[in-house]
Amino acid sequence: MAVIYIDHRAYEVKAGKNLLESCLTLGFNLPYFCWHPAMGSVGACRQCAVKIFKDKDDTQGRLMMSCMEAVKDNMYLSISDPMAKAFRSQIIEWLMTNHPHDCAVCDEGGSCHLQDMTVMTGHAYRRFQYPKRTYKNQYLGPFINHEMNRCIQCYRCVRFYKDYAGGKDLDAFAAHDHIYFGRANDGVLENEFSGNLAEVCPTGVFTDKSLKEHYTRKWDMTMAPSICQHCSLGCNIIAGERYGELRQITNRYNGEVNGYFICDKGRFGYEFVNSMNRIQQPIIRSKIPEAVDKNTLYNHLKAAISNRNIIGIGSPRASLESNFALMQLVGKENFYQGISERDAQLMQTILHTINSGHVHTPSLKETESADAIFILGEDLTNAAPLLALTVRQAVQRRPFEKAQEIGIPSWHDAARREFAQEKKGPLFIAYPTKTKLDALADNCQHLSPDDIARLGFAIANLLNDTAPAPQEIDEDVLKIAQHIANTLKRAEKPLIICGTSLHNEAILKAVANIAVSLGSEDKKASVFYVVEECNSMGLAMMQAPSLEQARAALKMKEANTVIILENDLYRRDAKATIDHLFEQCGELIVLDHLHNATSNQATVLIPAATFAEAAGTLVNNEGRAQCFFQVFRPKNENFRESWRWLDEFRQFKKGASLEDLNEPGDLMAELVTLMPQFKGAEEAAPSADFRIAGQKIPREPHRYSGRTAMLANIQVSEPKPPEDSDSPLSYTMEGYRGIPPAPLTPFFWSPGWNSVQSVNKYQEEIGGAIRGGDTGKRLFQKVSAVEKIFFDDIPTAYQALPGEWLVIPLQHIFGSEELSIYTHGIAERTPHPYAVISRQDAEDLNINENQSIRVTIAEQDYELPATIRNELPSGLVGIPDHVSGLSGISWPAKGILKTIAS
Amino acid sequence: MLSAKEIKKLDHEIALVPIRKSACIEALKIVQQQRGWVSDESLRDIAEYMEMSAEELDSVATFYNLIFRKPVGRNIILLCDSISCYVMGYKKIYQHLQNRLHIKFGETTADARFTLLPNACLGCCDHAPALMINNDLYRDLTNDSLDEILEEYK
Amino acid sequence: MERPLTQHISANHPWLNLKDYTAVGGYQAVHRALKSFTPQEITKTVQDSELRGRGGAGFNTGMKWSFVPMDDATQTKYLIANADEMEPGTFKDRLLLEGNPHQLIEGMIVSAYAIQANTSYIFLRWAYKKAARIIKEAINEAYAAGYLGKNILGSGFNLEMHLHTGVGRYICGEETALLNALEGKRATPRTKPPFPQVSGLFGKPTIVNNVETLCNIPHIINNGAAWFKALGLGADAGTKLYGVSGQVNEPGLWELPMGTTVRELLEEHAGGMKPGFQFRGALPGGASTDFLVTEHLDVKMDYQSVAAVGSRLGTGTMIILDDHTCPVGFIHNLEHFFAQESCGWCTPCREGLPWTEKILLSLENGQGRLEDLELLETHTKHLGPGSTFCALAPGAMEPLQSGLKYFREDFEKHIHEKKCPWDEERNGSHLH
Ligand SMILES: Cc1cc2nc3c(=O)[nH]c(=O)nc-3n(C[C@H](O)[C@H](O)[C@H](O)COP(=O)(O)O)c2cc1C
Ligand code: SF4
Ligand code: FES
């Protein structure tokens, strides 16, 4: 700690930080542009100037950039010094010489850091009399809008896009007052994190194009804290609504999870909520008309839900509450996970390893500080995008630490990069094809899934010779294994990343062996598991049987009732298998938000609320339970949370009449009592009766406009705002204005700080936890390790059989995920379907690049253009998972490859 | 497509630096020397060879004054417009050039014979005004000497 | 009077090749240094000689070297000769480069030895075509003679030397921007600390010195620190290349003892003002120094004396403002240059300089207002040292702030008369 004196008052702050951070942590309003809490300082904008004095007696002082000065004990500085103030307002005046006065028509208006800083420094009148510089804008693809005239050249965009996220197609051009930020030519920004530009840019140069389609000012949005639904990482988001439409997703800072950034799938993938394809009304297919009211629905369901032969099929993309409500309705013994036997097995292996006490499942934040990383069988950029971003930061850690050794502080971004140059910390990747992170890796092994596992087993054996070793391992692979083993062993914070993307259990077992070999009782090995969906982990923890077992449990056609919760089963297993399952169903009740192949089979279809219209709890891959909240009360009253429907069915089944159905009880409390493995999940967010100073937390900012007018076309008197009995959030602008607990933060705002930069005010220290602790409750209890037991079912080396190929699914950030694909921009970014084959196989079969080939899997033919890759092992074929109808495959799949006679 | 000659020169420069990309300015110079300027297409070819994106390379190329990203004439006149030449009357020389060639700074004659560019101090202030044409320096300029000089460049 | 740097250079002679150079005692310093000095002793000698950097800032050269960490013998280090010379009005390094390249190479070998750098670069500005050709040849000669390459003179010391020619930008001369240029990047400056001595080229310890600075090194090694100190007339050591340009009878460049007065330079060496031209002021050391005026003619041209009257020695090459040249136009020309050459990294310079340029132009065009002078003054205050990222913008403000001080009446005249009082003059014929 250090004591510093700001304007003659003493403050205690952390030594070694930079002064700007320290002043902001102390709550001072010091303006800045180029500094970013995650990206550090470069000293370019000169906005953060303060006066620093040599000592107590120095009255002259010198102007210095606070972001570039390390805090030292006994430092004397002044923020309010007239010269410093004049300089800061001069900086704004300079920035404003060329900045258009277009706030009224700028998407950033009202949440603009430049606006805030302009007001903060007191610059108000224009003295610059000359024409402004103007630029041409570029087309940057479906996500990001470009308006270069507004640029204030803070360099944050390129620092984020290039240095932080590794993008290559955005840069700074020209010099002096002609500096331009953009691409070499018009074109789509390729980086998967491009959306963050909208938040990183302090003004309106890079803005959210999807918001533009239904533009609303931040202050006019109704917002709620939410959790991204599009992968297993559980990034925290803020979702905003106006006029019954979901209009924007922004990052919600969580110091332990996503920090300041989210990926483009998470930011732009929300349009499914507004989709025309929503299921609008309960439908009973045996009735005419099919669309029915609630009464008809309940009366129709009465028999079906009272059926003794009832089963419920849950979903890894539905909340714990909804899954649990279904389980309670059908009975624990009749509840099934809606995933294939193979996938259920994978999840059990993961849970088994976690529960054995040999591994630690790190948070995303923790992965950033790993000093050696080994990735097995995952393409992070596509399967768990934000993890790819944290891994990118982790590999820079070593060289940055070396910079610290020669006195370059960690926040001094330019200097540490100049020092580190291209040096990277150790990263190893084993995956069948090239991945984007390969460029950062020390060594990449392109292997079949089983051979990836064998590499893993070999490493475990080299780390601990009581672990079983694979037979007949290749000399070169062994050498690499030794190198990886040594590196992991030497590292202080080694990290293993694996997951379920290749549907290969041996990889998970190999990782378990590595973890057992690497860790010790007081320092467990860190394993980050990438799983498939936003609640895959939560569902797996419910320990229910798989789809296959559900099929087996179905007795006779007609007599069964099957309830499917928010799950398109055709994405889970082979089409024939699912068809067969449906053939055995009597009444097939489906609750979901969108029409899909499964809902098309339903005899009864019930519209479910999406995450934006519902509250719920999800468990991410790390075992962190986090809550999302209803953003808005949908106009369509049929859009109800699945758990609400299901709980009512339960009451109804028990004999309650339609008129006296109660609000559901506390489902989470019930869940935790019945399933102690979820203990803690009920505390993931404050309960509905939580109040601060007797007040709820408003979802609307206090500048929310048009409340009395926006519905005037329907009713002139202002309607009573909906009441929210499910959460401590209110649907109005009235309520507690201070800083709420992290899980209840509907937006970031602080007096004078209208933009997202106001997050500074919510943190205990800059870049640290949100005051009172970050969102989420980790459910994996600290178990002490049971004895070291190794998996010994090591697969044999992959041997392609003549005429048979192993088909593997390749993940795509845009296209592989079910819901985000409804955003047209994401659809646009989805690749055309293809089949990747090895150079060897292409030559043997005489196949040229892009030539159509036929891949036959379980008697299903897929005609796909060939993509030939040198690195892919022969005997393997890769196809993009779920892209353009490439669903309904039971993984791992055997396939036959044929050229198509032209 | 980079020519074999260009690639040979490039490889030489790349061998001298610890990081491949660091030779990118040399690469731009080599190609400009061969082709007079760096077109978008040349830029992409160089970028590919240097294992950079077009953006990364263009970011460097556009920073510097003497990498030409637009076509130039056969001969490039760099007229010093800095202080000593200002005092000694470079504006007259500029005027004279305009009268003779009918181009202003930044322009190329219709017959592509000359491109005229302003240039910061040429380092011969004791012999101002001065200009360079291609690799040749001319000092103590007068309108008359200028006429003779121009004649030498076709 | 000793002229160690230029005694063998004469305007009409070709450059000194290796043979010529060794014939006049060249490369003796390399022999001496490598045989009888430890690296630390060289640094100490240079420090004792009180040689100050001739690139403009005037920092003690030996002291600068002493910051290079020397404990790790395997550490890669670099030495760079800054031959970018783009400061308007400056033409001193050109003479040394074109006249006696081996003197520079020798200075670099000794300096590299002092910091134990095994790779060195000469960063040459693009326009110095002749120098480029000569240096290339000289480097080849030095390699052939065993002064460069592996195991120089059997000492076990290795040194590679490369010539890098820039692609034009004034900021490349700023030593940290130069590093970025050498790394093939945009030449924006870097922050100090960390100083290049600790983390420089490719993140390795690096020394950047001006050509003239480096050329002094062999002479200091040959003749000793005391000899060097005695060369100066006043507080500063050594000789200096001084230059004068503008409307004088004999513009030129001379090596003279450090501390020669402005008057002596102007009147004796440059032959006084041209007939019909009156001296109004001078920028003593390139475009980014404050004006000196008539009352300063007897000021000694050394670091301290020039600083004492509110300017800087800079590069020691003087630009004369005469009475037929409009001071506003003169300063506008400078600010135009600086605004164009701003790298665009920091706000004050990128946005502030073009504003001053626009104001000066509007004054020249007779559209100025009195408030404009206030605005200009505000700019000189807010673009000062420390406020900007590097020294370019503060340098740019030096002629402006002193111009406003000494030629205020001329500025005001532009406003009151709504035109430039020199308009007719400029269109007249006196310039021929
Ligand atoms: C904008 C700017 C331009 C500069 N240009 C040059 C230059 O062309 N040549 C040079 O030697 N130093 C130049 N310098 C000074 C260098 O940064 C550096 O101080 C010098 O090369 C160090 O050498 P010295 O210690 O031998 O003087 C420049 C500085 C600034 C701020
Ligand atoms: S003062 Fe700023 S903008 Fe100007 S050259 Fe230096 S770093 Fe670049
Ligand atoms: S925030 Fe400190 S200089 Fe930009």
DSSP per-residue letters across A108-167: TTTS-HHHHHHHHHT-------SPPP--------SSEEE-GGG-----HHHIIIIIIT--
A82 C-beta neighbours (distance < 10 Å), count: 9
Q: Which CATH number fits domain C239-322: 2.40.50.100, 3.40.50.720, 3.10.20.600, 3.30.1490.20?
A: 3.10.20.600
Most C CBs within 10 A among B72, B87, B146, hence the mutation to make, goes to B87
Element at A224 (helix H, strand E): strand A222-227
CATH number of the structural domain B4-63: 1.10.10
Secondary structure (3-state) at A682: helix
Whether B59 has its CB under 8 Å from any CB of chain C: the answer is yes
Most C CBs within 10 A among B125, B133, B142, hence the mutation to make, goes to B125
Which residues of chain B have a CB within 8 Å of the CB of C245? 84, 87-88, 125-126, 128
**Mean pLDDT computed over A871-895:** 93
Quick check: A730 pLDDT over 60? yes
Q: Which protein residue has the closest C-alpha to ligand 2 atom 2?
A: C346
- What is the reported pLDDT for A788? 84
As a whole number of Å, the end-to-end CA separation of chain C is 36
pLDDT in tens, A602-661: 999 999 999 999 999 999 999 999 999 999 999 999 999 999 999 999 999 999 999 989
Secondary structure (3-state) at A10: strand
What is the identity of the amino acid at C296? H
- How far is B17 from chain A, CA to nearest CA, in Å? 13
- What is the reported pLDDT for A709? 83
- Reading the block at residue A383, the tokens are 């399967």
Fold classification of A805-899 is: Barwin-like endoglucanases (2.40.40)
Binding-site residues of B for [2Fe-2S] cluster, in ranges, read: 80, 85, 121, 125
Whole-angstrom distance, CA of residue A522 vs CA of residue A243: 54
pLDDT in tens, A518-562: 998 888 999 999 999 999 999 999 999 999 999 999 977 777 999
| Nearest residue, CB atoms, C253 vs list B28, B83, B126 | B126
Which residues of chain C have a CB within 8 Å of the CB of B24? 184
Contact criterion met (CB below 8 Å) for A618 and A227: yes
User: What's the pTM value of the predicted model, to 2 decimals?
Assistant: 0.97
Whole-angstrom distance, CA of residue C339 vs CA of residue A210: 39
User: Which residues lie below 8 Å from residue B15, measured CB to CB, with a gap of 6+?
Assistant: none
- Reading the block at residue C309, the tokens are 């009257």
Quick check: A900 pLDDT over 60? yes
User: Among candidates C262, C196, C181, which has minimal Cα distance to C59?
Assistant: C196
Secondary structure (3-state) at A668: helix
CA geometry: angle C299, C301, C305, nearest 5 deg: 60
Contact criterion met (CB below 8 Å) for C127 and C89: no
- How far is B75 from chain C, CA to nearest CA, in Å? 15
Whole-angstrom distance, CA of residue A786 vs CA of residue C226: 78
Across the B/C interface, how many CB contacts are shorter than 8 Å? 141
**Mean pLDDT computed over A106-124:** 97
- Reading the block at residue C73, the tokens are 């013998």
Q: Which protein residue has the closest C-alpha to ligand 1 atom 28?
A: C174
Within 13 Å of residue A360, how many CA atoms lie on the same side as its CB? 18
| Run means of pLDDT, 10 residues per run, chain C, 432 residues | 93 90 97 97 98 95 98 95 96 96 98 98 96 98 98 97 96 98 98 96 98 98 98 95 98 97 98 97 97 98 97 97 97 98 98 98 96 98 96 98 98 97 68 38
**Domain ranges in chain B with CATH number 1.10.10:** 4-63
Whole-angstrom distance, CA of residue C234 vs CA of residue C226: 14
User: Among candidates A665, A724, A774, which has minimal Cα distance to A321?
Assistant: A665
Q: Which CATH number fits domain B75-151: 2.60.40.1080, 3.40.50.2000, 3.40.30.10, 3.40.50.12780?
A: 3.40.30.10
Q: Is C388 near ligand 2, meaning CB less than 6 Å away?
A: yes
Look at domain C18-231 and name its CATH class: alpha beta
Whether residue C319 and residue B25 make contact (CB cut-off 8 A), yes or no, is: no
Q: In terms of CA atoms, which chain B residue is nearest residue A179?
A: B63
Whole-angstrom distance, CA of residue A127 vs CA of residue A97: 8
> Which sign does the torsion angle of CA A96, A102, A103, A107 carry?
negative
Whether residue A170 and residue B54 make contact (CB cut-off 8 A), yes or no, is: no
- What is the reported pLDDT for A89? 97
**Mean pLDDT computed over A496-508:** 98
Most C CBs within 10 A among B83, B88, B95, hence the mutation to make, goes to B83
- What is the reported pLDDT for C427? 57
Q: What angle do the packed helices B40-50 and B24-35 form, to 10 degrees? A: 140
Mean pLDDT (chain B, rounded): 96
As a whole number of Å, the end-to-end CA separation of chain B is 29
User: Among candidates A306, A339, A782, A264, which has minimal Cα distance to A544?
Assistant: A339
**Domain ranges in chain C with CATH number 1.20.1440.230:** 327-427
Counting ligand 3 atoms within 8 A of each CB, the residue from A45, A79, A88, A114 with the most, and so the one to mutate, is A45
- Burial string for A493-505 (b: 16+ CB within 10 Å, else e) reads bbbbbbbbbbbbb
Element at A356 (helix H, strand E): none
User: Among candidates A239, A268, A263, which has minimal Cα distance to A612?
Assistant: A239
Whole-angstrom distance, CA of residue C43 vs CA of residue C109: 13
What is the identity of the amino acid at A631? V
Whether residue B56 and residue A171 make contact (CB cut-off 8 A), yes or no, is: yes
**Mean pLDDT computed over A487-504:** 97
Q: What angle do the packed helices C129-144 and C101-115 form, to 10 degrees? A: 60
Secondary structure (3-state) at A806: strand
User: Which residues lie below 8 Å from residue A755, measured CB to CB, with a gap of 6+?
Assistant: A108, A111, A112, A113, A115, A116, A202
Q: Which CATH number fits domain A2-80: 2.30.30.90, 3.60.20.10, 3.30.1490.190, 3.10.20.740?
A: 3.10.20.740
Nearest atom in ligand 1 to C213's CA: 26
- What is the reported pLDDT for A716? 80
The radius of gyration computed from the CA coordinates of chain A, to the nearest angstrom, equals 28
- Reading the block at residue A395, the tokens are 């590999």
Q: Which protein residue has the closest C-alpha to ligand 1 atom 20?
A: C55
Least confident segment among A92-106, A805-819, C100-114, C412-426: C412-426
**Domain ranges in chain B with CATH number 3.40.30.10:** 75-151
Q: Which CATH number fits domain A349-531: 1.10.620.20, 3.40.50.300, 3.40.50.460, 3.40.228.10?
A: 3.40.228.10
- Reading the block at residue A489, the tokens are 């062993």
Q: Which chains form contacts with chain B, at 3 or more CB pairs under 8 Å?
A: A, C
- What is the reported pLDDT for A491? 96
Q: Which protein residue has the closest C-alpha to ligand 2 atom 8?
A: C343
Element at A9 (helix H, strand E): strand A9-13
Q: Quote ipTM for the complex.
A: 0.96
Whole-angstrom distance, CA of residue A95 vs CA of residue A413: 23
Q: Is C316 near ligand 1, meaning CB less than 6 Å away?
A: no
Counting ligand 1 atoms within 8 A of each CB, the residue from C108, C165, C175 with the most, and so the one to mutate, is C175
Whole-angstrom distance, CA of residue C114 vs CA of residue C108: 10
> Do the strands A49-53 and A75-78 form a parallel or antiparallel pair, or are they unpaired?
antiparallel
**Domain ranges in chain A?**
2-80, 349-531, 805-899
- What is the reported pLDDT for C430? 40
Mean pLDDT (chain A, rounded): 95
Whether B22 has its CB under 8 Å from any CB of chain A: the answer is no
Q: Is C189 near ligand 2, meaning CB less than 6 Å away?
A: yes
Whole-angstrom distance, CA of residue C227 vs CA of residue C231: 7
Whole-angstrom distance, CA of residue C399 vs CA of residue C334: 8
Q: What angle do the packed helices B143-151 and B90-101 form, to 10 degrees? A: 40
User: Which CATH architecture is the domain C327-427 placed in?
Assistant: Up-down Bundle (1.20)
pLDDT in tens, A209-259: 999 999 999 999 999 999 999 999 999 999 999 999 999 999 999 999 999
Whether residue B63 and residue C186 make contact (CB cut-off 8 A), yes or no, is: yes
- Burial string for C407-427 (b: 16+ CB within 10 Å, else e) reads beebbebbbeeebbebbeebe
CA C102 to chain centre: 20
Whether B43 has its CB under 8 Å from any CB of chain A: the answer is yes
- Reading the block at residue A569, the tokens are 């089963």
pLDDT in tens, A771-791: 999 999 999 987 777 788 999
Contact criterion met (CB below 8 Å) for A552 and A519: no
Q: Is A155 near ligand 3, meaning CB less than 6 Å away?
A: no
Whole-angstrom distance, CA of residue A852 vs CA of residue A848: 9
Q: Is A179 near ligand 3, meaning CB less than 6 Å away?
A: no
- How far is A419 from chain B, CA to nearest CA, in Å? 13
